[in-house]
Amino acid sequence: MRISTFSPIDLLPEPAREFLARRLAELAGLLLLGGIGAVSLALATWSVHDPSWNHAAGGPVRNLAGPPGAVLADLVMQMVGIAIVAILPPIFCWGLTLLSRHRLDHARLRLVLLATGASGATALASSLPATDRWPLPSGLGGIVGDGILALPRRLLGHSEPMLMLVALVCAGVAILSLTAAAGFGLKPPPGEEEDEDVAGAYDWVPVPKTTRRPFEDDADGEPGMGIVSLGAAIHAGLSAKAALTRLVRRGADAGAPWATPVPAGSAPTAGLAGAGVAARDGRVEPSFQATSRPRDERGRREPSFGAGDADTAERVAPRPPAGRPEATSVLSRMAAAAAPSRAAPRQGRDARSGGYDLPAPGILTEPRHGATAIVSEDALSQNARLLESVLEDFGVRGEIINVRPGPVVTLYELEPAPGIKSSRVIGLADDIARSMSAVSARVAVVQGRNVIGIELPNQRRETVFLRELVASEDFVESKHKLAIALGKTIGGESVIVDLARMPHLLVAGTTGSGKSVAINTMILSILYRLKPEQCRLIMIDPKMLELSVYDGIPHLLTPVVTDPKKAVVALKWAVR
C-alpha cells in the first residue's frame, strides 16, 4: 500500500510554486555569494596577532570582519592553509548557478568532488616548502594537509623523487576534482536537460540559440565564458596582491639600516663587525666573532653581533625607539666598522655607568597610614576573646595563644583542647565568618605546630607601598643576588625573594589581579639595588604597553625589543 505525502505547498497553484522555487534558488545563491565574500574579506585581512580559539591577544582586532572574522580566518588557515584559495571558487560557482535560477544538479557528487579536491589541494600545499614568513607551526596546507601527507612521508621517507610524484598526483586530483565540482564536465541527469520550473523563467527573453545563459554548465563539458573570465580575474588579483606584498617587503628590507644592539642612551657604535662572515643555512641568528675585542677595566667582554647579509642584520639589530634621531647614517656606520679603533664609544658609556647613583627611596610615594589603620592590642585581644566564645558556642574548646595582624587579614592561632579534631574546626569556617560579621574566614592547620590558624579580614585594608619595602632592613641587608620585593605576609613582614633562584618565572592572573604591578615592582627592586655595570637587562614587550616606560635607562643592553623575531634572536644570544 502506497502512502502519499501531503505538503502545504501543494495547495498553491502551479505559477506560485514556480515563483517560490525561483525565489528560494536566488536566496540560496545570494547566501552562498555573501558567505564567500565575508570569508574572503576575513582571509584577506587575516593576522596571526588577532585573537582566536587557541590564541589570546590583548591588542585591537585587525581583521575587517571583526572578531568573528578573525576567529574564522585563523581556523581556516590552521586547518587548510593557503589551499582555501582553490576551495572557494567552486562554491562561488554554485552561488552564481543558483542565482541565475539554474538547478544545481549532481549536488551530492559535487560535495564529494569538493571534499576530494580540497584534500588534494591541502596535500599539495603541504608538500611545498614553508618560508620563514609563514607564521603557523603547520605547513602551507594546514593541519589537514600535514595529516594527509603523514603516511606517504612515513612510507617513502625522504626520497625526493617519490615525494615529488605524490605532489603531482595530489595536484592532478585537486585540479580535476575542483573543476568538476564547479560544474565543468558534469552533464545533466537523463531526462532533466532543462528544469521545467527554471525554463519558464526565460520564456520572455528572446535568447538566440547560439547564446548561453551566464555561468550555465554546458552539456558537452565546456565551461561558459563567464566562469573562465571570473577565474582569470581572481587569479590575476591574487597574483597582483602577492607581487605587491613582495615588493613592499623587499623595499622595507633594503631601506632598513644595519646596526648592532647598543645600550640605550649611548652613541651608535659600529655595527658591521666581521661583515665577511656569511649566514649559514639561512638561519636567522647572530654571528659571533672569535677574535678578541678590547676589554674594559673589569675584563668584561661586550656582546658583538656579526652581520652576514642584509636580511640577517636587519633582524638581529633592535629597532631604535621612535623619536630618537640616529647620529650616523648607514655609510658612516660601515666606514666606522672598518676603522681600527672602536674603544671610544665604549669608554664613554662605561664612564657614564661608573657615575651612576642608585635611586633614593624618597622619590617613591610615602606610605599613608591613617590612625584607623592601626589596630590596638586591646582591640585584637577583644576580637580574640570574641572568637573563643564563638568557637565555644559550636562546641570547640581552645585558647587563642597568638594574634598576628597583617595589612589585609589577621591571623588568630588557636590551640585546641585535647580531643578536638582539626577537621571539625575547619568545617566551621562559614559559621565563624557569619558569627564574626566577616566577609569570609579561612581555617587551616599551621604546619609543624599544634595550632590551627584562623584568618579573618580586617575592617580596613592597608595599602602596601613599594617605598616601605625597598627601605626595609630585610631588603637593604639581603644577601640575594637578585633580591626583589613582592609584598608583605599575613603577619606584615616584608617578602624578599631571590629572582636568581627562579629563572623561569611565569606571572599569570585575571584582568586587574595585579600582574603589571608585580612586574614593575620586580624591575624597580633590581634598579634600586644594582648599578648598570652589575646588571644588564633585555626587555621584550611585543604589545608595547608595559615596558616602554623603561626605554632609555642605562641598565638596558638594547632598546626595548618590540619585534617578536628580534626577540627570538636576542634570547638566543642571551643563552649562548
Cα–Cα distance, 450 to 448 (Å, whole number): 7
Q: Is 463 marked as a binding-site residue? A: no
Residue 472 in marked binding region: no
Helix (H, G, I), strand (E, B) or coil at 399: strand
SS (H, E, C) 44-83: HCCCCCCCECCECCCCCCCCCCHHHHHHHHHHHHHHHHHH
Instruction: Give me the amino acid identity at 64.
Output: L
Angle CA(492)–CA(498)–CA(504) in degrees, nearest 5? 120
Distance of CA 450 to the CA centre of its chain: 49
State the DSSP H helix or E strand holding residue 390, giving kind and residue range, or none if neither: helix 377-393
**Residue 491 annotated as binding?**
no
φ, ψ for residue 483, nearest 5 deg: -75, 130
- Rounded to an integer, what distance in angstroms lies between the CA atom of residue 416 and that of residue 420? 6
| CA proximity to 143, closest of 88, 77, 45 | 77
DSSP annotation string for 264-321: TTSPP----TTTTPPPSTT--S-B---S-----TT-PPPP-PBP-SHHHHHHHSPPPP
Choose among 524, 521, 519: nearest CA to 508.
Answer: 519
According to the annotation, is 509 in a ligand binding site?
yes
Asked whether the beta carbons of 81 and 139 are under 8 A apart, the reply is yes
Q: Is 276 annotated as a binding residue?
A: no
Within 407-449, residue ranges assigned H as helices are: 422-426, 429-435
511 known member of a binding site: yes
**Is 512 one of the annotated binding-site residues?**
yes
Any idea which residue has 596577532 for its cell?
49
Torsion angle, CA of 258/347/263/286, rounded to 10 degrees?
A: 50
Residue showing cell 594527509: 148
Hey, which residues does 52 pair with through a beta bridge? Answer: 55
Residue 413's contacts (CB-CB under 8 Å, 6 or more residues apart) are 400, 401, 402, 403, 404, 446, 449, 451, 452, 453, 454
Contact between 213 and 204 under an 8 Å Cβ cutoff? The reply is no
Q: Which single residue is written with the C-alpha cell 562554491? A: 91
Strands 452-457 and 398-405: unpaired
Binding residues for ATP are 509-516
Detail the residues annotated as belonging to a binding site.
Answer: 509-516
